Structures are given as structure tokens and as C-alpha cells.
Amino acid sequence: MVNNFYSESELLKKLSAFCAYRDRSEMEVVNKLKTLNASETQIPKVLQFLRDEKFLDENRFAFSYARGKFFQNKWGKHKIYRGLKTQKIPDELINRALGEIPHDEYLQTMRELSRKKWGSLPDNPPHEARQKVYQYLLSKGYESHLIRELLKG
């Protein structure tokens, strides 16, 4: 029979590697600890060790998540916000992380996504294509007022 329980030192080693791979939220780490059958007394000790050793940092996670989702996935701020909220990141920290996205690059990315979507809809009537572009950008997490402004021009 396989032993599904780890000692504290084994958990520290496993979770240090888990956090070293990429920035993690505390929620992700707690969930991982639970899948490893960590006890209720081990979880806070492991979390504190990871914080002390700089493996776990909610600030770093929030900023990294926001940058990555914008620059790699081209997500808008609403979608990034919702993603960080699901990780139980506080609003103040989310707003600071979103504030790091350069506004001009944000608008430029939205314009590029819009152009690509328009290009994929050559046979659609203009009003239908405009609605599809609007819905697409909305699904990517861009703000409706910015989308409307973009589609006006």
C-alpha cells in the first residue's frame, strides 16, 4: 500500500519546487497541499516557510499573472481581474497589478485584436461583423466603453 502522507520536510521540498516553477497564489499552494494530504497543522507551517524563503509572494504573483495574461494571452483587464479574484487576491492588489499594464499598449492590443477579428469576417454584413467584434473583445475581457469607442472610429 502506498503511503499518501508526507512529512513536513517532504512537503517543504515538494512545495518549494512547485513554487519555483512559476509564481503561485496562496490558494494554489493550499490546494496543492490538500491534494498531498497535508494536515491542518502542516499547512500554515509550510505556507510560512514558503513566504519566508520568498517562494510565495502574493504581490509578485498578482503582477506576474496580470503581465502574463495581458502580454501572452492578450486578455483585457476585466478577465484578468476575474482570474485574480478566483485566486482570492484582494481588490487593492489587483488594481495595482492592473495599473502596471501600459495604457497605450493596452489600446494597441485591443486594436490589433479587432483588426484580426474583422479580417476573419469578410462575408458578414458590417453591422453583424461589428457585433461579432464587439462580442469577441468583450469575451477577451476588454471594457465595453473602450470597445464602443474603438468601433465608432
What CATH number does domain 103-152 carry, 1.10.10, 2.60.40, 1.25.40, 3.40.190?
1.10.10
77-117 pLDDT tens trace = 999 999 999 999 999 999 999 999 999 999 999 999 999 99
Q: Which residue intervals of the chain bear CATH 1.10.10?
A: 8-56, 103-152
1-53 pLDDT tens trace = 344 688 999 999 999 999 999 999 999 999 999 999 999 999 999 999 999 99
Distances (CA, A) of 85 to 5, 37, 77, 93, 117: 31, 25, 12, 10, 28
User: Tell me, which fold does domain 8-56 have in CATH?
Assistant: Arc Repressor Mutant, subunit A (1.10.10)
The residue behind cell 502596471 is 100
**pLDDT classification of 56: cutoffs 50, 70, 90:** very high
